[in-house]
Amino acid sequence: MEIKLIGKVQETEIRKSNLAVVEFKSIARGIFTTDAMLKAANVNLVMATSLCPGKYLTIVEGETSAVENSLKVADEIGGMHVFSSEVINAISHKVINAIFGKLQSETGGALAIIESMQMANLISSADEVVDAVQIEFVDFRLARGCGVNSFYIFSGELSSVQEGAKVASKYLMGRGALLAYRVISGPDREVWRWIKSSLCGC
């Protein structure tokens, strides 16, 4: 397959899709409703996991009409147990793959860490980054194993990482959703080792 280059970003990496993100206040109701969402619409399950503390997160991907239908089902069946629900349109498959757990395994280059309490805005900020610069995600966590905060980490050439962090922080600050961000120009080997060892679904 021929891969055309658009600026610094490969065409295959900027293919877009849509997400429905639903956070439940009950794990049991979350699993039950997720099953109904998948049966009601032609969507792909990106993530279904318990959160800290005692919540459940479901993310599905597909055509706009399909994810909107799945979200409607979630709101109807989840009822009072739905903490938040939102459709996010036109998200890069590179971001979706990172959420799914397909992360860069090689280490090297600079690092940026972007942190927020708002999952939908954090996902959208990551999409802004991959539209702007060539980077690789090395971790992407949505309130898993880290309380209520969500974050992602990406690596690449220092100039790209700095620009990507600038893009992400500007996007999140504009929505009042930025908790913190940092760039590490030359991470210590031990930092890389511990980032790699923490790449789990917890």
Domain that holds residue 170: 103-197
| Dihedral in degrees, nearest 10, Cα atoms 112, 117, 119, 122 | -30
Give, for all 202 residues of the chain, the pLDDT tens digit: 333 333 444 444 468 999 999 999 999 999 999 999 999 999 999 999 988 778 899 999 999 999 999 999 999 999 999 998 999 999 999 999 999 888 877 667 999 999 998 889 999 999 999 999 999 999 999 876 545 689 999 999 999 999 999 999 999 999 999 999 999 999 998 888 887 766 554 4
* CB 127 within 8 Å of CB 120: no
6 inside domain: no
Q: What is the pTM of this model?
A: 0.82
Last residue of a domain, one of 34, 67, 93: 93
Same domain, 109 and 85: no
CATH code (residue 130): 3.30.70.1710
